[in-house]
Amino acid sequence: MKALLLIDIQNDFMPTGSLAVPNGNKIVAPVNAVQLHFDLVIASQDWHPASHVSFAKNHLGKKEFQIIRLEGLEQTLWPAHCVQNTTGAEFHPNLHTQKVETIFRKGTNPALDSYSAFYDNAHQKSTGLAGYLKEKGITELYFTGLAADICVYFSIKDALAEGFECVVFEDAVRALDENTYQQQQEELKEQGVNYCRTADFLK
């Protein structure tokens, strides 16, 4: 059985958002179209407290996009984004959510970042997504969302480790850094990840 994952299709990752992904808004239409062909649709949502450790403003003298080490992990310092109960944390207003069965929120721990929809970056705590999908009998995951080179990428890596087959809708993801994304694509293809377009899937 297969399921569709909508990764962090939130206002702050759109072109007018605080952590804008170039052309992030362009994925909304294909995501809406392809949802109709899945019985199970799941969404993830970045849901940070204002005091989150990943925000540059919470580190005196540090700049946005600077990389530091925290608790032995490499940490990029981001602009404040997807703060709980703000407009920036809401899903894009044109995103259809009627078919979304449940939402898995991540990044809620103020002391630890969480790119993947499955685990935090230190793999200390599971969101429960893997167990949920396995209980539903899901074996194949189709990925959409933002950003392709960060939250989508790390979600795929964890999904592979959990034993799921993974497919990415190329026209339903966008990257923050295109060069990084191209390198990741080659890596993931070698690990068995498939890429297709929503139009091909809808035929």
Pairing label, strands 165-174, 194-196 = parallel
Residue 39 designated active-site: no
Q: Which long-range contacts (CB under 8 A, 24 or more apart) does 127-135 make?
A: 127/44, 128/104, 129/42, 129/44, 129/104, 130/158, 130/159, 130/162, 132/42, 132/102, 132/104, 133/3, 133/42, 133/164, 134/162
Query: Exactly one of 82, 149, 151, 171 is catalytic; which is it?
Result: 151
Residue 106 designated active-site: yes
Query: Exactly one of 8, 113, 158, 171 is catalytic; which is it?
Result: 8
Query: Exactly one of 12, 106, 149, 171 is catalytic; which is it?
Result: 106
* Torsion sign over Cα 126, 131, 133, 138: positive
Residue 118 contacts residue 127 (beta carbons within 8 Å): yes
Residue 166 designated active-site: no
Active site residues: 8, 106, 151
